[in-house]
Amino acid sequence: MSTKNLATVTNELIESYGNTAKNVINAYRVGNERAVSYVNQSWAAAVKKTGTRLNADVRGNAVAAQKKISALYAQGVTLTSDGAEVAVNKAVELAEKGVVQVAANASRFEKATGVAALNTLAVAAVPAAQAVTKVAAKLEAQSGALANKIAGKQAKVKVAVAKRPVAKKVVRTAKAAPKAAPKAAPKAA
């Protein structure tokens, strides 16, 4: 049944959106790490710039306080991004299982009723789903490139690549034999 093809394409689309979400989460994580690093460097430079105007203990306390605040902030970013990634993974997993279950139920329904409307609809929907999957793959690749751009040189962020298009399955149906024209009844004499 071609709903499996539609299910496969739909699952690829779900996976692509999941990867895009993970790329955004990575961009958030790395961007915040870079921001914390910048704030730490700026704070240390500002404290150093004060020179002898501040007591050495005050300067030490100011730097230590900033490091503690930065560590707490970084820990919050890590916790939220890790939690978001777990949520995305679970959502993708559940969505993919749901698509497989719907396809199985559709197949059982068609076998029970003998109506192939769902199969016809699935065959018709595959090209549209493939087109959307191509767009989603481009979005996924761009989000990965953005995450790498935010990360800079020091971070390693996976850039998702556009998936190869799913081969379109041609469903051949037997042509119905043309109906013979009814024979004309012999004329009565």
pLDDT tens digits, 143-182: 888 888 887 765 555 555 444 444 444 334 344 444 444 4
Contact between 25 and 85 (Cβ < 8 Å)? yes
Q: Please name the residue that has the structure tokens 């690829």.
A: 12
Of the listed ranges 9-13, 38-42, 90-94, 164-168, the least confidently predicted one is: 164-168
In 3D space, the residue among 57, 4, 1, 18 whose CA is nearest the CA of residue 139 turns out to be: 18
pLDDT tens for 102-149 read: 988 888 888 888 888 887 888 888 888 888 989 999 999 988 888 888
| C-alpha to C-alpha distance for 179 and 59, rounded to whole angstroms | 97
Domain ranges of the chain: 3-151
Which residue bears the tokens 């959502």? Answer: 91
- CA–CA separation, 23 and 45 (whole Å): 33
- pLDDT tens profile 46-69: 888 887 788 888 888 988 999 999
Q: Look at 11-20, 79-88, 95-104, 161-170 and tell me which has the smallest mean pLDDT.
A: 161-170
Instruction: Note the Cα 54 to chain centre separation in Å.
Output: 51
pLDDT of residue 124: 84
- Say whether pTM exceeds 0.85: no
Alpha helices in the chain (DSSP H): 3-50, 56-113, 117-151
Q: What is the pLDDT of residue 77?
A: 94
End-to-end CA gap in the chain? 57
Contacts of 74 (CB under 8 A, 6+ apart): 32, 33, 36
